[in-house]
Amino acid sequence: MPAKSGASSSSMHTTSSFASSWISSSPSRQSPSRPSPSRNGPRTTPSRDFTRRSTLDMDLLDSPAHKMILELSQMMIQSTQEFNERLDHATAEDAKLHQQQLAKAAAEHERVRNGASMECERILLEQELEKRRKEEEQRKELQRLQQERARKEAEARQQEWETKRREEEAARQAAEHQKRLQEADDRVRAQREAEELARRQKMEQDTADRNAREAAVAAAAAKQAEARTAQAPTQLLQKPPPSVAPAPVTNQVTSQPVSADVENLHTKYLDLHKRMKEFWKPFKAECAVKGNPIKGAVGDMRRELRKAMGQITVKREDTRNVIRKIRDIITATRNAGGPTIDIRPFFATQSIPNLSNEADAQYPCILLYAYICFVKFAIKQFEQEAANEDGRIIAELGAIVASLMIDPNFVWNNVPMTDLLLAKFHRVCPILFGIRGNMETKEGQVRLGMLPVGGEAPAVNVYNQRMLGLAAGYAALSLRVVEKPAIPASEYWRALAFLCNTPSASLYGGHFMVIKGLLKDYAKKFITMYGRAGRAMILRATVTLPARAPANVVSTANLVSVLPDSWKMQGLVLQ
C-alpha cells in the first residue's frame, strides 16, 4: 500500500540520519588531537588521511554499538510500520463504516420517499373517491327530491280524493248513525218495558213464595212445640261432628305440551301486534287530513320523539335528560286532547281490573299512538346500535324504554304498557320466546324473525345484526335491579333456557346471534342475580350449545364459544 511505502522510506531515512549523526558526533571524530587543515596547515598526504578515515569507518560498522544501533533502527522501523498498518486499518474501517452509514441513509431516504409517494397517491385516491361519493350523493338526492315531489303530488291528489270520499262517507255514516240511534232508543225502550213487566211479575211471585214459606215455618214451629211437650226433661248431650279440613290446593300439571303454551302465548302477542297496526295506520292517516285539530300535535310528537331517541349517549346524565325530554313530549301529546279508545284489547297478558263503568276503559288515542311510535323507534334503535361494539348505548336505551313503559303518569289504571313492547319483540325476534322454524322456507324465515327491511328482501348479515341488537336490548330491559321492572329477570332466564333446549336440527345462525346479544355485555350482571345457577346456564349457552351446532352454522356458533375467553380478560372466570 502507498502508506506503507511512505512509512518505510521515512523510517529508513530517519535511521540513516540517526546513524550518520551518531557517527559524526563520535568523540574520536571530534578529538582535539586530530589534525585539522586549519590548525596544521595544508595536508601533505591526502591519500593516507583517506585511508585512515576508511579504516575508522569500517571499524565503526563492525563495532557492537553499531549493530545495536542498526537493531534499534530496525525495531523502530518495524514499530513505525505496525503503527502505520494499524492506522491504515482503522482508517479503512472508518471509511467502510462511513460508506455503510451513507448506504443506510440513502435506503432510509428512499423508503421515506416511497412512503410519501404512496401516501400522496392514497390521498389523491381518497379525494377522488370522496368526489365520486359526493357526486353520487348529489345524484341520489336529486333523484330523491324528484321522487319526493312526485310522491307529494300523488299524495295530494290521493288526499283530495280521500277527503271527498271521507266527506261522503261521513254523511252516510251520520245518517246511518242517526238511524242506529233511533233503533237503539226503540230497543232500549222496549227492553225497559219488558224488564219492568218482568220485575213486576217477579215481585208478585216473590210475595207469593214468601207467604208460602211463612206458612210452612209456622206449621213446623207448632209441630216442634208439640214434640217438646212429649219429650223427657233430661236430654242427652251431643258432641258436634268433627270438622273436615279443606284439602290443600296443589299445582296441577297441565296436559298441554310446553310448545303449545309457547305457541299460544306467541299467537296472543302477534294478534296484539296486528291490532296495534290496524289502529295506528288509520289514525295516522286521519290525523294527516287538513283541518284535523290534532294534526300538528301528532306530527310534532313523531318528529321530536325520533330526534330525542337519536340523542342517547353512554353518559347517565344524558340518559336522564332524554327521559325527561320524552316525558315532556308525551305529556304535551296527551294534553292535545282528541278521541279516546277502549284500551283493553291492547293488553295480551296483563291483568285487567274490574271496572264499575265502561267509560273507565277509555284511553286517549293520541297517547296510545305515541306509545306505539315510541316502541317502533326503540326497536329500530336496538337494531341499528348492534353495529356498535360499545354496548353501553343499548344499555342506556334499555333503561329509557323500561322507565317510560311503566311511567305512572301515562299507564292505564296502574297497568304498564309493556305488552305493546313485547308484541313488537314477538314480531321481530321470536327466537327469544322459544319459537322454532325452518329457515329453508319463507314461512319458517318469518317465524324466526327474518323479515324484509325497508322493502328489501331479507339478507343474512342484516338479519344476524338485527338479532344481535334486539337480544341485547331485551337483556337491557329485563336485567334491571329495580322494584318494578318492565320485563322481569325471569323472562331473561326463560329466553336463555329456550335457546339452550333448542334441538340441534333447529339451530340456525340467528339463535347464536341472539345468545351473543343476551350474554356479551350482561353475563356478569346475570351471575350477580342468579349465582351458581346463572353461571351454569351461561356455560350451557357458550360451551355445550355451540359444541352441538350444525356444520352450516359453526362459524356463527364460534362467535359465542369465544365469549368466555373475552370475559376472562375482563376478570370473569366461569369455571
| Contact between 341 and 412 (Cβ < 8 Å) | no
* Count of beta carbons in the 10 Å neighbourhood of residue 5: 9
Query: Averaged over 222-239, what is the pLDDT?
Result: 41
In this model, does residue 199 exceed pLDDT 80? no
How much is the pTM? 0.57
pLDDT confidence of 552, banded at 50, 70, 90?
A: very high
User: Quick one: which of 455, 448, 443 has its CA closest to 513?
Assistant: 448
104-120 mean pLDDT: 92
The tally of CA atoms less than 13 A away on the side-chain side of residue 301 is 26
Q: Would the pLDDT of 536 be above 80?
A: yes
What is the Rg, in whole angstroms, of the alpha carbon atoms belonging to the chain?
54
Q: What's the pLDDT score for residue 311?
A: 85
- For residue 467, pLDDT over 60 is answered with yes
Among residues 431, 472, 461, 466, the alpha carbon closest in space to that of 448 is found at 431
H-assigned helices in 289-441:
295-309, 316-334, 365-385, 392-405, 418-428
pLDDT band at 105 (very low <50, low <70, confident <90, very high): very high
d(CA 327, CA 358): 28
Domain boundaries, the chain: 1-22+58-167, 262-569
Distance CA(405)–CA(105), nearest Å, equals: 69
What value does the mean pLDDT take over residues 25-47? 47
Count of other CB atoms within 10 angstroms of residue 563: 21
* Interval 95-110 mean pLDDT: 93
Q: What are the contacts of 359-363 at 24+ separation with CB within 8 A?
A: 360/413, 363/412
Nearest-angstrom CA–CA distance, 190 and 286: 37
CA torsion angle for 422, 404, 469, 487 (degrees, to 10)? -50
Residue 569, pLDDT > 70, answer yes
What is the structure's pLDDT at 314? 84
Q: What is the pLDDT of residue 213?
A: 59
pLDDT digits (tens, 9 = 90+) for 338-370: 899 999 999 999 888 888 888 889 999 999 999
User: Can you tell me the distance from the alpha carbon of 135 to that of 118, in angstroms, rounded to the nearest whole number?
Assistant: 25
Query: What architecture (CATH level 2) is domain 262-569?
Result: Alpha Horseshoe (1.25)
